[in-house]
């Protein structure tokens, strides 16, 4: 059975966090949570996945506040962020569309995104939708900046941006995204037409690798049961189901 889109994306995320000791996943993030639990299962105890909203996989007694404390102590190695808008410089907008404060459309809010973006070494931006309304030339409001001016102490920042079409890596020297790979069946023109910001690309663009059979089997086995504790509908409809 071919992997579902969700399984495919989870395996890409898992490759980027393999080998890290402490991975944290926020709320409403079933695909990143699946990736983190898969890496934890593969690690023989070397990786700990902390999933907000889970009773079994949430070590935080004080929810997000304790997550922020651990990030400040350097005890979180990777985290995932999304955004209503993301631009080519890695800036994310979680506030709304239009001039602030009279935004036409409101997003959930920034919460601690800027704090975590500055402190966690590997922040992976993840947004399934790949369109010009999401990937914009410049965000309407900067909830969390992708880069900082010289002299600003910053241990964290964007590592990559994953969408349903492709994978970008973030070039910190240039402060811009670079196309790393195209997913199967996706052409460069598809990405260009759906992206509002400009980006660099290699002369020969690789294809995103298919999921590793062992990891896919793990996700469809024990990880599916673990993720069902937090996301039962996702586990039932997006893992181990026929691809449409």
**Domain residue ranges of the chain, discontinuous segments joined by +:** 5-238
Alpha helices in the chain (DSSP H): 5-17, 30-42, 64-72, 113-119, 188-194, 213-218, 224-228, 232-238
Predicted local distance difference test score (pLDDT) of residue 37: 98
pLDDT tens column, 4-26: 999 999 999 999 999 999 999 99
Lowest mean pLDDT among 37-51, 94-108, 114-128: 94-108
- Joined tokens for residue 44: 């023989």
Q: DSSP label at 205?
A: P
- Joined tokens for residue 139: 């965000």
Mean pLDDT of 141-145: 96
Closest CA to 23 of 68, 76, 75, 80: 76
Predicted local distance difference test score (pLDDT) of residue 66: 86
Considering only CA atoms, give the Rg of the chain.
17
Q: If DSSP codes are grouped into helix, strand and coil, which group holds residue 181?
A: strand
Predicted local distance difference test score (pLDDT) of residue 138: 97
The residue to which tokens 């997003």 are assigned:
107
Q: What is the CATH number of domain 5-238?
A: 3.40.1080.10
Mean pLDDT of 52-67: 82
pLDDT tens column, 64-96: 788 889 999 999 999 999 999 999 999 999 999
């Amino acid at each position: 059975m071919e992997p579902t889109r969700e399984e495919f994306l989870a395996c890409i995320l898992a490759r980027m966090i393999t080998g890290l000791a402490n991975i944290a996943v926020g709320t409403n993030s079933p695909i990143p949570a699946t990736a983190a639990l898969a890496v934890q299962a593969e690690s023989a105890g070397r990786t700990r996945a902390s999933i907000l909203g889970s009773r079994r996989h949430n070590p935080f007694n004080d929810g997000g506040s304790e997550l922020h404390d651990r990030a400040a102590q350097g005890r979180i190695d990777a985290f995932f962020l999304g955004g209503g808008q993301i631009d080519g410089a890695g800036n994310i907008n979680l506030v709304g569309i239009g001039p602030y404060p009279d935004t036409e459309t409101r997003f959930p809010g920034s919460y601690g995104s800027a704090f975590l973006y500055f402190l966690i070494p590997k922040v992976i931006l993840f947004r399934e939708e790949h369109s010009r309304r999401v990937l914009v030339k410049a965000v309407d409001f900067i909830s969390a900046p992708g880069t900082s001016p010289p002299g600003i102490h910053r241990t964290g920042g964007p590592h990559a941006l994953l969408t349903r079409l492709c994978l970008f890596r973030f070039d910190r020297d240039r402060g811009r995204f670079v196309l790393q790979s195209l997913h199967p069946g996706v052409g460069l023109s598809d990405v260009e037409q759906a992206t509002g910001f400009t980006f660099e690309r290699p002369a020969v663009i690789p294809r995103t690798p298919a999921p590793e059979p062992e990891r896919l089997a793990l996700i469809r086995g024990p990880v599916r049961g673990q993720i069902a504790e937090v996301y039962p509908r996702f586990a039932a409809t997006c893992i181990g189901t026929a691809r449409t």
